[in-house]
């Protein structure tokens, strides 16, 4: 190059480069306040589980505000770091978990809504020895066959949900059950759990269908189900499949002839249903309308102030998980995962966190939270626009949880 | 070595120096070791795809199948058969390569979009097997209950589970062997023949080259290398789920190859690095990160059809 001159082109390029540098610089300068206690949330913010993931995030944020207002964790400020795990990519979820642990040096790991991702993250947490709390991934294995000393779970196992709903269904609706089950691991485990609970309570299975994921036309399954003459049709389909199945069941007039029911149901899902399809008996894991239970009204009011909507079970999962971190550290007077995990054995959440009539505790040797479960039915219209569920039975956790041996968890602690 | 040779070797030297020194400089730019391992693993997958796409001229949209087979092969070997990282890697690679070799003859006569569609179809078959066969693969919950294990070399033991740098170098070593084999093949008469097929298949056929056979070999090699990457990916995550076999994963490999530049050997590496780092960084900043990755891809395809490395090359040439 003999002489230096600026052409228009190189000027544009320089401008573009400067622009890129602006965006890229935070990547280089990622130093965060070192004296904060960090809680890393690796949860879906995009994809199928975005809505429930965001509700968990809101619960976490409220908990962080409350923790800091009450003196923080071991006198230090609590900070929430949020990463999008995506709704289905285990590789991304694992990578984000490692990013939070290795680079951001978090003290607690939270996540994930998706059971598979929660299991994958639990693997990372076990490898790194970080205290991990799963707010909302339901597969039994997390606190069952693949349990770890440092992995705790707030939401219920699928078996607990099955055990909770069964007695009242048998009593109120009848003993002959028919299953409409999505054909993948989640559906299979849930159906197996319900069959077990049903048989224990004297019920029988009169038939069942496995429906491929993404089924839009359930008419053939519904006709078959009707022909089997059951007392109860159990819908275990999720998401859009559930919406389609329930809508078509109503069109067939099945809700007038047979009792419709299922296991886990969420406020987010009921909001997505047309009013006429809000039917059936279900289990909620937490509900905002609990008259007479102390502190619930304040929690609902605070969430409403933040978002304008009532909290869902997911909001509570995030809230309880984050508070568990603070309570574990403050109780153990340590941020060492082993000390905190030991402190959480048979640990009862205080009433202002548990927000349930009988409270909730982490069962020793399994690390599973044993809360109340709410059995009731979906309703087209309730006392308020957000009141889409009518609780009829509040089941005590220990009655639904089964024994520790049944969970299949054999916990080994680090030497 | 003449100056001309040196100029030719310059990109190789730069790439290897950067990769070998990665543990030294990555923390300073806000990265972490596993991010580096992930880039290298996905780069290997994208380069394997590019062996077929860029050098043979055949677009596969089903490489996730062999990636996933490698991953499940490695994971299931360690989980059920032999608790050894090395054996897991080997079995994973073999499973993917054999599946590719068997499926190859059924699809090599197809061209263009038909070839791509059939590769997707076969990939979905494997996806649904993994998704539905709960008792063996763990179904949708993924294959858990295993981890990569320390490597025993007789005189010493390398703890690749707890030492991310050691694991990175294992990944890099495997990457070097696989990439070396591909580069050597491309320089051989066989590789030149593949390029001849890419440029003008009819002429190659008239010259008496057994085109279908060449495409089959190229396809099998590509499948074998992508299953190496899959096996490494399983070891990286200590976890496999059916998503590794899903067609969106194949799409990601194609995006990486095209982003980086599918006419150049190192293009997919650049593409994978950009894709992974962009995803890692943007998704921490905004939940709309996918829009930005998509926008970036659209811009590259519209304005730099030869990919990022294509632009740099043109600059160097001019």
Element (H, E) at A132: strand A131-134
Residue B305 pLDDT exceeds 80 = no
pLDDT digits (tens, 9 = 90+) for A284-294: 999 999 988 99
> Cβ contact (<8 Å) for B138 and A139?
no
Give the integer Cα–Cα distance in Å for B245 and B140.
Answer: 12
Query: Pairing relation of β-strands A259-264 and A232-235?
Result: parallel
Closest approach of A261 to chain B, Cα-based (Å) = 24
Judged against a pLDDT cut of 80, whether residue B25 lies above it is answered with yes
From-to residues of CATH 3.40.50.2300 in chain A = 32-156+293-371, 159-284
pLDDT of residue A214: 79
CB contacts of B35 in chain A (<8 Å) are: 95, 99
Catalogue all structural domains in chain B, each as residue range(s) with its CATH number: 33-317 (1.10.3470)
Confidence (pLDDT) at A13: 59
Using a pLDDT cut of 70, give the percent of chain A over it.
92
What pLDDT, on the 0 to 100 scale, is given for residue B3? 61
Question: B141–A124: do the CB atoms touch at under 8 Å?
Answer: no
Residue of B nearest to A183 (CA): B132
Contact list, A102 vs chain B (CB under 8 Å): 32-34, 164
Spatial separation of the C-alpha atoms in residues A222 and A233, rounded to whole Å: 9
Q: Which residues of B touch A95 (CB under 8 A)?
A: 34-35, 38, 280
Contact (CB<8Å) A90/B237: yes
Q: Is the ipTM of this complex over 0.90?
A: no
Each residue's pLDDT tens digit, B95-104 = 999 999 999 9
Rounded to an integer, the average pLDDT of B146-159 is 83
Look at residue B127 in the predicted model and tell me its pLDDT: 93
Mean predicted confidence (pLDDT) in B201-223: 93
- The pLDDT assigned to A212 comes to 84
Query: Which tens digit of pLDDT belongs to each residue from A378-395?
Result: 998 888 888 999 999 999
Measured between CA atoms, the residue of chain A closest to residue B249 is: A89
Are A217 and A237 a contacting pair, CB within 8 Å? Answer: no
Chain mean pLDDT for chain A:
88
> Which span out of A25-29, A402-406, B30-34 was modeled with the highest average pLDDT?
A402-406
Contact partners, residue A263, CB within 8 Å, separation at least 6:
A158, A161, A162, A165, A190, A193, A194, A234, A236, A282, A283
What CATH code is assigned to A159-284? Answer: 3.40.50.2300
Provide φ and ψ at A249, rounded to 5°.
-60, -40
| Closest CB from A29, A102, A115 relative to B34 | A102
Q: What's residue A12's pLDDT?
A: 56
> Which residues from B are below 8 Å from A183, CB to CB?
132
Distance from CA of B238 to the nearest CA of A (A): 7
Point out the residue among B32, B144, B237 whose CB comes nearest to the CB of A103. B32
Crossing angle, helix B307-317 and helix B247-260, to 10 degrees?
Answer: 10
Among B31, B243, B288, whose Cβ lies nearest the Cβ of A90? B243
Fold of A32-156+293-371: Rossmann fold (3.40.50)
- Tell me the nearest-neighbour CA distance from B154 into chain A, angstroms: 25
Residue A116 has pLDDT above 60, yes or no: yes
Q: Is the pLDDT of residue A7 over 70?
A: no
- Quick one: pLDDT at residue A15? 57
Q: Do A183 and B239 touch (CB under 8 A)?
A: no
pLDDT above 90 for B162: no
pLDDT of A27 reads: 45
Which tens digit of pLDDT belongs to each residue from A237-287? 887 788 889 989 988 888 888 999 998 899 988 888 888 889 899 999 999
- Residue A84 has its nearest CB partner, among B28, B144, B287, at B287
Tokens of B71: 């991953």
Q: Chain A residues with CB inside 8 Å of B238's CB?
A: 94, 120, 123-124, 127
In chain B, the percentage of residues whose pLDDT exceeds 90 is: 55
**Contacts of residue B144 in chain A, CB cutoff 8 Å?**
119-120, 123, 141, 146
What average pLDDT does range A197-225 have in this prediction? 90
Return d(Cα A392, Cα A403) in angstroms, integer: 25
Query: Which one is predicted more confidently, B8 or B192?
Result: B192
Q: Do A98 and B34 touch (CB under 8 A)?
A: yes
Q: CA-nearest residue of chain B to A148?
A: B145
Average pLDDT on A105-128 reads: 92
pLDDT at A29: 41
The reply to whether residue B34 touches residue A28, judged by beta carbons under 8 angstroms, is no
pLDDT at position A283 is 94
Q: Which of A9, A51, A116, A128 is the best mutation test for B, with the most CBs of B within 10 A?
A: A116
Confidence of residue A330 (pLDDT cuts 50, 70, 90): very high
pLDDT score for A26: 44
pLDDT at B105 over 60: yes
Question: What is the distance in angstroms between the Cα of A238 and the nearest Cα belonging to chain B?
Answer: 14
pLDDT digits (tens, 9 = 90+) for A32-41: 556 899 999 9
Burial of A181 (0-12, 13-18, 19+ CB in 10 A): buried
Average pLDDT, chain B: 89
How many angstroms separate the CA atoms of B207 and B184, rounded? 24
Q: Do A84 and B284 touch (CB under 8 A)?
A: yes
Which pLDDT band holds residue B106 (cuts at 50, 70, 90)?
Answer: very high
CB contact (8 A) between residue B139 and residue A183: no
Mean pLDDT of A126-144: 92
pLDDT band at B307 (very low <50, low <70, confident <90, very high): confident
Q: What is the pLDDT of residue A30?
A: 44
pLDDT more than 90, % of chain A: 65
* pLDDT tops 80 at residue A411: yes
- pLDDT at residue B192 tops 90: yes
CA distance A293 to chain B (A): 36
User: pTM for this one?
Assistant: 0.86
Query: Is the model more confident about B301 or about A320?
Result: A320
Q: Note the pLDDT of residue B64.
A: 94
Q: What pLDDT sits at residue B306?
A: 80
CB pair distance less than 8 Å for B239 and A46: no
Q: By a Cβ cutoff of 8 Å, what residues of chain B touch chain A?
A: 28-35, 38, 131-132, 134, 138-142, 144-145, 147, 161-162, 164, 233, 236-241, 243-244, 279-281, 283-285, 287-290
**Cβ–Cβ < 8 Å for A81, A110:** no
Using CA of residue A342, residue A347, residue A349, residue A351, what is the dihedral sign?
Answer: negative
Q: What is the 3-state secondary structure (H, E, C) of A280-311?
A: CEEEECCCCCCCCCCCHHHHHHHHHHHHCCCC
**What is the tens place of the pLDDT at every residue in B38-86?**
999 999 999 999 999 999 989 999 999 999 999 999 999 999 998 889 9
Chain B residues with CB-CB distance to A26 below 8 A: 285
Q: What is the pLDDT of residue A1?
A: 42
CA closest to B280 among chain A residues: A96
Give me the mean pLDDT over the A398-408 stretch: 90
pLDDT of residue A11: 54
């Amino acid at each position: 190059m003999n002489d230096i001159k600026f052409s228009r082109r190189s000027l544009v390029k320089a401008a573009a480069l400067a622009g890129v540098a602006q965006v890229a610089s935070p990547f280089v300068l990622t130093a965060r306040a070192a004296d904060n206690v960090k809680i890393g949330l690796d949860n879906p913010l995009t994809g199928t589980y975005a809505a429930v993931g965001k509700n968990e995030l809101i619960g976490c944020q409220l908990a962080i505000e409350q923790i800091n207002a009450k003196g923080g964790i071991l006198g230090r400020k609590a900070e929430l770091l949020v990463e999008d795990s995506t709704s289905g990519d285990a590789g991304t979820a694992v990578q984000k978990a490692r990013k939070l642990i290795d680079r951001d040096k978090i003290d607690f790991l939270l996540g994930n809504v998706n059971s598979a991702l929660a299991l994958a993250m639990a693997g990372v947490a076990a490898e790194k020895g970080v205290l991990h709390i799963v707010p909302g991934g339901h597969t039994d294995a997390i606190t069952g066959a693949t349990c770890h000393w440092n992995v705790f779970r707030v939401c219920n196992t699928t078996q607990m949900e099955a055990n909770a709903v069964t007695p009242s269904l048998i009593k109120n609706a009848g003993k002959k059950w028919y299953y409409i089950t999505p054909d993948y691991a989640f559906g299979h485990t849930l159906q197996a759990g319900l069959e077990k609970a049903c048989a224990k309570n004297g019920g029988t299975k009169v038939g069942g269908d496995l429906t491929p994921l993404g089924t839009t036309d359930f008419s053939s399954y519904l006709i078959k189900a009707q022909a089997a003459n059951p007392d109860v049709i159990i819908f275990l389909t999720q998401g859009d499949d559930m919406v389609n199945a329930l809508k078509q069941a109503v069109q067939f007039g099945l809700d007038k002839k047979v009792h419709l029911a299922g296991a886990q149901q969420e406020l987010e899902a009921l909001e997505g249903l047309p009013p006429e399809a809000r039917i059936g008996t279900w289990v909620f894991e937490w509900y905002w309308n609990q008259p007479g239970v102390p502190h619930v009204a304040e929690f609902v009011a605070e969430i409403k102030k933040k978002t304008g909507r009532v909290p869902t079970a997911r909001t509570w999962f995030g809230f309880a998980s984050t508070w568990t971190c603070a309570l574990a550290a403050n109780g153990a007077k340590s941020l060492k995962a082993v000390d905190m995990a030991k402190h959480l054995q048979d640990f009862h959440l205080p009433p202002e966190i548990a927000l349930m009539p009988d409270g909730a505790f982490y069962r020793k040797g399994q690390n599973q939270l044993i809360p109340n479960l709410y059995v009731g039915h979906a309703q087209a219209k309730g006392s308020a626009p957000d009141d889409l569920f009518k609780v009829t039975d509040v089941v005590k956790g220990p009655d639904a949880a089964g024994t520790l041996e049944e969970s299949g968890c054999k916990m080994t602690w680090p030497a | 070595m003449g100056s001309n040779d040196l100029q030719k070797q310059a990109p190789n030297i730069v790439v290897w120096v950067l990769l070998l020194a990665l543990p030294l400089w990555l923390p300073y730019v806000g990265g972490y070791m596993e991010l580096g391992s992930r880039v290298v693993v996905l780069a290997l997958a994208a380069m394997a795809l590019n062996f077929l796409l860029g050098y043979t001229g055949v677009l596969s949209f089903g490489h996730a199948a062999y990636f996933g087979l490698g991953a499940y092969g490695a994971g299931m070997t360690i989980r059920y058969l032999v608790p050894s990282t090395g054996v897991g890697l080997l079995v994973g690679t073999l499973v993917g390569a054999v599946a590719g070799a068997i499926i190859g003859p059924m699809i090599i006569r197809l061209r263009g979009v038909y070839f791509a569609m059939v590769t997707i179809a076969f990939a979905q078959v494997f996806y649904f097997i993994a998704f539905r066969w709960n008792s063996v693969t763990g179904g949708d919950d993924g294959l858990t209950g295993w981890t990569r294990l320390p490597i025993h070399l007789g005189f010493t033991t390398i703890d690749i589970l707890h030492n991310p740098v050691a694991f990175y170098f294992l990944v890099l070593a495997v990457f070097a062997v696989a990439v070396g084999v591909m580069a050597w093949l491309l320089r051989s008469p066989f590789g030149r023949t593949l390029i001849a097929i890419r440029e003008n298949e009819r002429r190659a056929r008239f010259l008496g080259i057994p085109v279908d056979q060449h495409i089959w070999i190229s396809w099998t090699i590509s499948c074998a290398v992508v299953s190496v990457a899959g096996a490494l990916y399983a070891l990286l995550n200590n976890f496999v789920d059916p998503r590794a076999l899903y067609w969106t994963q194949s799409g990601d490999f194609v995006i990486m190859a095209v982003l980086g530049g599918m006419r150049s050997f190192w293009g997919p590496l650049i593409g994978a690095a950009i894709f992974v780092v962009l995803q890692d960084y943007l998704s921490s900043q905004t939940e709309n990160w996918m829009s930005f990755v998509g926008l970036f891809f659209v811009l590259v395809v519209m304005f730099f059809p030869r990919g990022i490395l294509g632009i740099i090359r043109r600059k160097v040439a001019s």
